[in-house]
A and B are shown apart, each in its own frame.
Chain A
Amino acid sequence: AQSVAQPEDQVNVAEGNPLTVKCTYSVSGNPYLFWYVQYPNRGLQFLLKYITGDNLVKGSYGFEAEFNKSQTSFHLKKPSALVSDSALYFCAVRDSTSGGSYIPTFGRGTSLIVHP
């Protein structure tokens, strides 16, 4: 079975400060990991994904995420937050093993609020 957890419902950060949105996962084999962002009244948009290779993945809008196998985490980060980054962020995971679900499972989402 595969599962994903976003332990924080909301993250508050001041503009210009670094931000981290946390994600942990559980899979039987190796994970495929995704981050999506949802702006108000919009659909989810793809930010970045990890399939294999370098543990640090760079994505859109200056975001990056670090895959940590020992901690089963895939936290989303940005060095300097913008007010326009305020949105709902979703982590998703898919188990790469043949016995796992072929469809990614989404977390419940974390609301990021960046204060001016």
Chain B
Amino acid sequence: DAGVIQSPRHEVTEMGQEVTLRCKPISGHDYLFWYRQTMMRGLELLIYFNNNVPIDDSGMPEDRFSAKMPNASFSTLKIQPSEPRDSAVYFCASSRGQAETQYFGPGTRLLVL
């Protein structure tokens, strides 16, 4: 298996622009997680899905953030409009079961100028 795939690996954009991050989980995994990592806040859980359904989005910082999972093999995290404080590394992870080992993608390093 190729593991969790994220794209793009790096994104540089200007404030106010829309940013879309993409994730392909490991086949057969029924949980998908989006995390944000910064020096100041560490690793934060933004939202997670079970069988493509959003279960808990309480970690999503603002309405500017939205996430979708249209099918079992694809999820997006969208920021619109983006702001400099959104600059971070965004990770997608998947697991087979809610309490099981999570497998992380390589991350998307986002820089908003």
Contacts and interface: CB of A to CB of B under 8 A. Distances in A.
Interface of A: 32, 34, 36, 41-46, 49, 90, 94, 96, 102-104, 106-109
Contacts, number: 45
B107 interface: yes
Interface of B: 4, 33, 42-43, 45, 48, 56, 91, 93, 98-99, 101-107
A43 B43 contact: no
A46 B98 CA distance: 15
16 contacts: A32-B99, A36-B104, A41-B106, A42-B106, A43-B93, A43-B104, A43-B105, A45-B104, A46-B101, A49-B101, A102-B99, A103-B33, A103-B45, A103-B48, A106-B42, A106-B43
B99 A108 contact: no
Contact of B42 (A103, A104, A109): A109
Contact of B4 (A43, A49, A104, A109): A43
Given A103-B45, A108-B42, A109-B42, A44 B99 contact: no
A109 B89 CA distance: 15
B91 A94 contact: no
A43 B106 contact: yes
Nearest to B4: A43
Given A41-B107, A46-B101, 5 more contacts: A42-B107, A43-B104, A44-B43, A106-B42, A109-B43
Given A43-B107, A103-B56, A108-B42, A34 B91 contact: no
Contacts of B91: 43-44
B106 A104 contact: no
